[in-house]
Amino acid sequence: MLEIGPPNSKGGLDGPAPAKTIKFTSESYPNIKRDSKFTKLTEEHVKFFKELLGSESAVIDGVTQDATEDIEPFNSDWMRKFRGHTQLVLKPSNKEELSKVLRYCNENMLAVVPQGGNSGLVGGSVPVFDEIVINLQKMNKIRSFDEISGVLVADAGVILENADNYLAERNHIFPLDLGAKGSCQIGGNVATNAGGLRLLRYGSLHGNVLGIEAVLPDGTIVDDLGTLRKNNTGYDLKQLFIGAEGTIGIITGVSIQCAARSQAVNVAYFGLESYEKVQEAYRTAKGQLAEILSAFELMDGRTQKLVNRVTGKKMPLEGEYPFYCLVETSGSNTDHDAEKLQAFLEHVMESEIVLDGTLADNQTQIKELWSWREGITEVLGHEGGVYKYDLSIPISELYDLVNDTRDRLTEAGLVGDGPDYPVVDVVGYGHMGDANLHLNIPTRGFSKEVEKQLEPFVYEWVQKRNGSISAEHGLGVTKKPYVSYSKNETMMKLMKQIKDLYDPKGIMNPYKYI
Amino acid sequence: MLEIGPPNSKGGLDGPAPAKTIKFTSESYPNIKRDSKFTKLTEEHVKFFKELLGSESAVIDGVTQDATEDIEPFNSDWMRKFRGHTQLVLKPSNKEELSKVLRYCNENMLAVVPQGGNSGLVGGSVPVFDEIVINLQKMNKIRSFDEISGVLVADAGVILENADNYLAERNHIFPLDLGAKGSCQIGGNVATNAGGLRLLRYGSLHGNVLGIEAVLPDGTIVDDLGTLRKNNTGYDLKQLFIGAEGTIGIITGVSIQCAARSQAVNVAYFGLESYEKVQEAYRTAKGQLAEILSAFELMDGRTQKLVNRVTGKKMPLEGEYPFYCLVETSGSNTDHDAEKLQAFLEHVMESEIVLDGTLADNQTQIKELWSWREGITEVLGHEGGVYKYDLSIPISELYDLVNDTRDRLTEAGLVGDGPDYPVVDVVGYGHMGDANLHLNIPTRGFSKEVEKQLEPFVYEWVQKRNGSISAEHGLGVTKKPYVSYSKNETMMKLMKQIKDLYDPKGIMNPYKYI
């Protein structure tokens, strides 16, 4: 779970250093072996795909060395942690082309990896060995939007931010927001069941996605792209594709319920003396802000000091506190929201639930306060690598894991200032409203010793509390070996059944997920 | 789709007349034949179940004539439309008992029907022939509730109203409400993906249900009863059980996300001159009431006159209008909500979007106004039977179907006053916010001629508009033959795959759904 090098919060394929310097996944994970059942790519295969997809820009070919575009950015990820050996990238323009691609791959036992914006955190969207990359970037059209129902229908390859901007012009909002919005694609968001910043308010994709269009490994086009809020005519099969990480088919289109955009948005940023007070603040916000509460984010003091140190920006509050939280409200009436927020502020200040706070009510100030939450990912890799865990834990115990992990690493003599200590710090932040903790351990480099202290410790800790070892980042390559900490044997068996049903030859995104 | 006799809006098993007078489903649907692959029940089978379930109250046995309780109410439904021939009702007390029951049935090819509150509208919860009824009423405990996260965990057999009352005492709300709340069970609600009155605000069960515990036909206990808002560790298999109508397993427990209960609830009731104005009112409500809008219900003038005539109650408004709508707001601040609603009222009155309106702001008045919407079902059967359709249609065309159907039946000379005309009226109402129309045709009795005019006309009309032939009522016996109007061939094939995967012997709720 080590990330080497500074992460780029924008994600995407334009990393700072050449992709060729990234270590191969097959070397970082020597236990993963190429499955010999898969055919090796030949010039004949490449010829078929070139004839099928026509346009030169649709095929990046490392086999015949006839590439019109560098293939390496498609082989590696933005964190510079994963790198595959693919020699072929295909960019179908529509579902019919994709159908022919997949049918051919399935018949010829060619393994494939679906790739959206390639902004994931678990190595799900790049090959491990020579799997063919199927990139969705050419399928990038908004198909329709209904202003009365608020239903958007779009190609899978539409970039999230483009979809949200399109909706903003129509006074609506995409029910999902996350740091990588500038590069991630909505098909990838759905395939990975992305959570992010708006889940507290708008709920999960399982509720918001109304329809899906997908292509199965055998080339079957699944047209389940309905736009109805209610449709009780059979098994809701589209749900299987939400969070399947491209292991049973490739999503080509999505229809999704979008809410009206709020006219009033306010953000408050608080300093608190303990995690108990953060919980109290959350309970109070749920009660008093109720229907206008749209985010409740937790940041510990260490993350905020780190942002301060790396960016050199002045901290939002005068004093320093062990905990901070960011509360966002979104509503339809500016005065009402301001009044609710004011009452909430007075209450939490007077009752000493929070010790200090500041309020943003214009776009610039709001962005500035959010940067203290959204900027954490970027500054964490500043000194080397980061061990990242994305966990669901019952709220009352959520931050205990950060303390317990810090204690454990400290007792092992691994935490400290200066080059003798591999661990820089142990920090926690996350989506409090979703009971979703991001436990991060910034390090000065890779250390077998640190890893041994962390795993399986973290997973066992979470399992004991019936939490999830992957709240929103998914499984990919990194979490595949640990699924059983969050799924029992029966669930594992039932998952395998679904995989075998939809992808009997196992060509879809192998070495990952299941 | 004919309902004989007056429906009882409370649902449940205590219908007014003896169940023995209801026509057998096998006679109403002569095309459905008993599948000879199923074993006929013997005394030996009954002996096994009696030994397994112990308590006398857990087995109602019509085979050895040793019944302690009348078996007929379990054979028939509250609408008095469906009646089966079962000779055995089993009431397991826990998932382990249910597991043994199902394993035995599966091994011995005994068909079963899961039964919750038996308040469905499509014949899904009663047998057609001699299927064994597995009734969930003994599994009726609330297991836990977390006031911080708002997550309720409960047995499948908990009655919806009991769950909601339990939550009300804890300032929370069940994210589902429907007319049959006094008898329907939350397991049945989830198994049928019930929609109802709160969907507009709280979203569908696919978003709110966080975990499911279920038993598969072979006795496997599926423990996927997590309480986490976020858990991306594999296929979200619980989704398959939501809306599967007991055809792949029986739900025994549910964990569900519940919202904080709103302190302020207001209801407004409007008269409007056209369906265009209703749409305008809806658009305005979405914009101005936004986050506090919790229901937007449509009732045509004919339904309201009918409620007036049958109940003798004075109509809420002085004049009479071709359309009415009921708008409910739920929020956390009484003053803010009243102010928003007042502004909305002034706007829609001044711009003549609505012609008249009345406002309720105390519990009694709110109940009274809701009775003009909720009372429709009950009064419709007053003159005989009712043809009921539950459809999703794009909002802009939603009411056209009522007019088109009325025109069609009128042209065929079937609509009029007096005993010569089989059709009393053609009316429409429903959940406008969900684009969900209830098209109802009250009749003076069964008429082959009326039926021929209605079907497949209604289904074809909806299919042309990419609507759903069953928005929230499900498939059961009545809609099974028409699924293909809302699902294409590929989807039908994929659904069949899932059925065969989970229930290879086909013992679960046969003759229905798929």
Looking at the complex, report in whole angstroms how far the Cα of residue B265 sits from the nearest Cα belonging to chain A. Answer: 13
| Average of per-residue pLDDT values in chain A | 93
Q: How many CB atoms lie within 10 A of CB B378?
A: 18
User: Is A231 close to B291, i.e. CB distance below 8 A?
Assistant: no
Residue in A148, A223, A436 nearest the CB of B283: A148
Q: Tell me, yes or no, if A440 comes closer than 8 A to chain B by beta carbon.
A: no
Alpha-carbon gap, residue B16 to B6, rounded angstroms: 9
pLDDT at A66: 61
Contact check, Cβ <8 Å, A473/B232: yes
The Cα B51–Cα A83 span in angstroms is 61
With contact defined as beta carbons under 8 Å apart, do B202 and B328 qualify? no
- Give the nearest chain B residue to A279 (CA atoms): B148
Inter-chain CB proximity B228 and A467 less than 8 Å:
yes
Verify whether the Cβ–Cβ distance A195 to B230 is below 8 Å.
yes
Say if A249 is an interface residue toward chain B (CB within 8 Å): no
List, as ranges, residues 125-184 from A with C-beta within 8 Å of B: 146, 148-150, 171
Maximum Cα interatomic distance, chain B, rounded to a whole number of Å: 74
Find residues 181-220 of chain B whose CB sits inside 8 Å of chain A.
192-193, 195, 199, 203-204, 206-208, 220
Q: Which helix (H) or strand (E) holds B392?
A: strand B385-392
Does A228 contact B495 at a Cβ distance shorter than 8 Å?
no
Question: Looking at A377-473, which runs of residues are DSSP E strands?
Answer: 385-392, 427-431, 436-443
Q: Do A392 and B469 touch (CB under 8 A)?
A: no
A262 CB within 8 Å of a chain B CB? yes
- Judge contact between A139 and A157, C-beta under 8 A: yes
Tell me if chain A has a CB within 8 Å of the CB of B489. Answer: no
**How high is the pLDDT of residue B6?**
37
Whether A412 and chain B come into contact, CB under 8 Å, resolves to: no
Q: What is the DSSP letter of B439?
A: E
Burial of B135 (0-12, 13-18, 19+ CB in 10 A): buried
For residue A476, the distance in angstroms to the closest alpha carbon of chain B comes to 10
A57 at the B interface (CB within 8 A)?
Answer: no
Contacts of B237 in chain A (CB under 8 A): 240, 491, 494-495, 498
What are the angstrom distances between the C-alpha of B229 and each of A374, A459, A500, B78? 21, 18, 28, 36
Q: What pTM, to 2 d.p., does this model score?
A: 0.95
d(CA A1, CA A5): 13
Amino acid at A192: T
CB distance A483 to A424 below 8 Å: no
Answer whether A223 touches B (CB < 8 Å): yes
Contact yes or no for B204 and A291 at CB 8 A: no
CB atoms under 10 Å from CB of A67, counted, come to 16
Q: How far is CA B191 from CA B114, B120, B157, B164, B337, in A?
A: 10, 11, 12, 18, 35
Task: Specify the 3-state DSSP secondary structure of B32.
Answer: coil
Q: How many other CB atoms sit within 10 Å of the CB of residue B25? A: 24
**Residue A495: strand, helix, or coil:** helix
Across the interface, whether the CB atoms of B236 and A239 are under 8 A apart is answered yes
CA gap A307, A276 in Å, rounded: 24
- What is the spatial distance between Cα B85 and Cα A444, in angstroms, rounded to a whole number? 73
Predicted-complex ipTM score: 0.94
Q: Rounded to 10 degrees, what is the CA torsion of A46, A47, A49, A51?
A: 160
Terminal Cα distance for chain B, rounded: 18
pLDDT on residue A13: 33
Query: Tokens in use for B514?
Result: 């798929």
The strand order across the sheet containing B88-90 reads B59-61, B88-90, B132-135, B112-115
Using DSSP's 3-state secondary structure scheme, residue A8 falls into coil
The number of beta carbons lying within 10 Å of the beta carbon of residue A443 is 27
**Contact criterion met (CB below 8 Å) for A79 and A3:** yes
Decide: B316 and B269 in contact? Cβ < 8 Å: yes
Contact yes or no for A424/A369 (Cβ under 8 A): no
Helix, strand, coil share (%) of chain B residues, nearest 5: 35, 20, 40
Q: How confident is the model at residue A196 (pLDDT cuts 50, 70, 90)?
A: confident
**B192/A232 touch (CB, cutoff 8 Å), yes or no:** yes
Residue pairs spanning A and B at CB distance below 8 A:
265
Q: Do A229 and B435 touch (CB under 8 A)?
A: yes
B302 touches chain A (CB under 8 A): no
SS (H, E, C) B124-135: CCCCCCCCEEEE
Chain A residues whose CB is inside 8 A of the B340 CB are 332-333, 336
User: By the 8 A CB rule, do A236 and B242 touch?
Assistant: yes
Could you please report the per-residue DSSP string of B296-347? EEEEEHHHHHHHHHHH-PPPSSSS--SEEEEEEEEES-HHHHHHHHHHHHHH
pLDDT per residue of chain B (514 residues) written in tens, 0 to 9: 444 333 333 333 333 456 678 999 999 999 999 999 999 999 999 999 999 999 778 999 887 766 667 899 999 998 888 999 999 999 999 999 999 999 999 999 999 999 999 999 999 999 999 999 999 999 999 999 998 889 999 999 999 999 999 999 999 999 999 989 999 999 999 999 999 888 999 999 999 999 999 999 999 999 999 999 999 999 999 999 999 999 999 999 999 999 999 989 999 999 999 999 999 999 999 989 999 999 999 999 999 999 999 999 999 999 999 999 999 999 999 999 999 999 999 999 999 999 999 999 789 999 999 999 999 988 988 878 899 999 999 999 999 999 999 999 999 999 999 999 999 999 999 999 899 999 999 999 878 899 999 999 999 999 999 999 999 999 999 999 999 999 999 999 999 999 999 999 999 999 999 9
Cα(B268)–Cα(B317) distance, rounded to whole angstroms?
Answer: 11
CA distance B148 to chain A (A): 7
> Which pLDDT value is given to residue A55?
76
The beta-carbon neighbor of A230 closest among B260, B436, B497 is: B436
Q: How far apart (Å, rounded) are the C-alpha atoms in residues B409 and B415?
A: 6
Best CA proximity match to B95, nearest among B225, B240, B230, B202: B225
Between chains, do B472 and A195 touch, taking CB under 8 Å as contact? no
N- to C-terminal Cα separation, chain A: 18
B503 close contact with A: CB closer than 8 A: no
Q: How many CB atoms lie within 10 A of CB A16?
A: 9
Beta strands at B132-135 and B112-115: parallel, antiparallel or unpaired? parallel
Which of A63-77, A389-403, A452-466, B167-181 has the weakest average pLDDT? A63-77
For B436, name the nearest residue in chain A, comparing CA atoms only: A230
- Tell me how close the Cα of A161 comes to any Cα of chain B, in angstroms: 23
Determine contact: B496 vs chain A, CB below 8 A. no
